[in-house]
Structure 1
Amino acid sequence: MASFVLVHGAWDGGYVWKDAAALLRDAGHEVYVPTLTGLGERTHLAHPDVGLTTFIQNIAGVIQYEDLQDVILVGHSYSGMVISGVAERLPDRLKHLVFVDAVVPYDGESIASISGPHMAEQFPKDAQETGDGWKIHPRATSDWRKSPMTLLSFTESVDINHPEAAHIPRTYIEVLDNPEQWPMTPVFRKSAQRAKDSGWRHVAAELGGHWIMQTQPQKVVHILNDCI
């Protein structure tokens, strides 16, 4: 039996992992699907000071308070930032990091800096125009469950300098069928290249778009099982 902690991406909640988590549990694994502060069923906790540090503490807290060891820590999309930060805090408790079409940050980077100058300028603009100065609403979605992200969650950087964390095995799952016109597609391609350049295990396939844990949960679980 393995211990999985599955972390959702921006604007989402733990619910996006529902089907994949069920498959992992059916196979006898221990699975946690926490929702980050201010998102999903925790939208009532949102405030301007919630940021990347908060999210890292959310996940580190699950691992510590549940007393988990040899964790396979999985991050989707934005939460490549989160799991990278958790690895810096708890490298001795992690067995494997899995980045599911996720951002791969270097030391001192934020989502804003990784996304490039155009998007970095757009984040505060969106917050000022439609988010009371601190909220960034999800774009072009019909899913009522998605919640605004804080501006701080996009501008706060992550520190990556722990020598033990650098030795944690890592897998990158690259989705090849993201829309070409989607602004985040080049960001994830860059992250996939960073993973390959660093010698990580790399899995690339057309898996049903960015939210592959919902569109192809069986395929995602098959890849995760190879990390045990």
Structure 2
Amino acid sequence: MTDFILVAGAWLGSWVWEDVAGELRAAGHGAHPLTLSGLADRQDVPAGQETHVRDIVDEVERLGLRDVVLVGHSYAGIPVGQAAERIGDRLNRVVFVDALVPVDGESFASMWWQGQPAFEALLAEGDGSWVLNAADFDGQDLDSEQVARIASGATPHPGATLTEPAVLARPLDQLPATYVKCLLDGAEPADDVAELLKSEHWRLVEMDTGHWPMFSQPHELATVLHASVRG
């Protein structure tokens, strides 16, 4: 049996994986959705980038898992990618779901498409946290009920997790990895991901949906995750 640690992106908690986790369990896997510190039901816990990495590593160790697939959606690709190299031979594979990938010495903010000053201005507007903008859901294959579900469950994302840099001990292209590109959120992977996909250890899977496939296509996402397992 393979165990999946499922980590959602910014603003979200373990609750977003309910449908996907159910399908993975029905297929015989262990599924362990994780809420990162500072979010959802853990929003009162102080958090920085290293905190989120430790959240993931600690969950693997707490549960005594050996054959692990780490799944990081969106922002969560950054801490998941760092945790993947820290759990050593416990790792089966890491799956980045339409995610950012960690770059040694770089933060989420420094890789922000509008630049770090623009992102820091967003944090200032949110009193040090990143606040969800519902306009981001437009054109992402979500109906009104799904958008309402996400918006109602979202919490402000702690700013320090977004401005503190990632730390990698070795090149990310050496990890066994799958990158899931959601095509409605852009037809091509970002340049840093495209470079990693040149590695023999990485593979690309495309999904014809938007940035939140755990809501728009949970069955299809579960199928992709099931297929990612190295046997």
Query: Do the structures match in fold with TM over 0.5?
Result: yes
Equivalence for 1:204: 206
Change (3 A) 1:205 1:215: same
- Equivalent of 1:169 in 176, 180, 185: 176
Identity of aligned residues (%): 36
Deviation of the 1:137 alpha carbon? 1.2
What SS is found at the alignment partner of 1:11? coil
Change (3 A) 1:166 1:176: closer
1:226 equivalent in structure 2:
227
User: In structure 2, the residue corresponding to 1:121 is in which secondary structure?
Assistant: helix
Kept in 1: contact 2:179–2:205 (CA 8 A): yes
- Report the equivalent of 2:101: 104
Q: Is the contact made by 1:195 and 1:202 (CA closer than 8 Å) also made in structure 2?
A: no
TM-score by structure 2 length? 0.85
Contact 2:7–2:33 under 8 Å retained in 1: yes
Other-structure match for 2:6? 6
Secondary structure of the corresponding residue to residue 69 of structure 2:
strand
Is contact 1:94–1:168 with CA below 8 Å preserved after alignment? no
2:119 maps to which of 95, 120, 123: 123
Q: Which runs of 5+ in 1 are unaligned?
A: none
CA distance in 2, matches of 1:70, 1:146: 31
Cα distance, 1:166 vs. partner?
Answer: 5.4
CA contact (8 A) 1:14 1:33 kept: yes
Q: C-alpha distance in 1, partners of 2:131/2:55?
A: 21
CA distance in 1, matches of 2:31, 2:15: 13
**Matches of 1:11 and 1:54 in 2, distance apart?**
16
TM-score (norm 1): 0.86
1:6 to 1:130, Cα distance in 2 relative to 1, 3 A: closer
| Aligned residue pair count | 214
Is the contact between residue 182 and residue 210 of structure 2 (CA under 8 Å) also seen in structure 1? Answer: yes
* 1:25-77 deviation line (CA, Å, top 9, x unaligned): 111211100100111111232x4xx1111111111111001111120111100
Match of 2:134 among 140, 147, 168: 140
- Indicate the residue corresponding to 1:23 in structure 2: 23
Q: How many angstroms apart in 2 are the aligned matches of 1:166 and 1:175?
A: 21
Partner of 1:71: 68
Cα deviation digits, residues 113-163 of structure 1 (max 9, x gap): 2224x34112322232331xx222111265121111122111111111237
Quick check: 1:59 aligned with 2:27? no
Q: What RMSD over aligned residues (CA atoms) do the two structures have, in Å? A: 2.0
Q: Which amino acid aligns with 2:158?
A: T
Distance 1:119 1:12 in 2: 23
For residues 105 and 59 of structure 1, what CA distance do their matches in structure 2 show? 15
Q: Which runs of 5+ in 2 are unaligned?
A: 136-147
Structure 1 residues 75-113: Cα deviation after superposition (integer angstroms, max 9, x where no partner): 100011011110232122111010000112222121112
Aligned to 1:153: 161
The offset of 1:175, in angstroms, is: 0.8
The SS at the match of 1:113 is coil
Structure 2 CA distance for aligned equivalents of residues 158 and 24 of structure 1 = 30
User: Alignment partner of 1:114: what SS?
Assistant: coil
CA distance in 1, matches of 2:97, 2:123: 27
CA shift for structure 1 position 221? 1.2
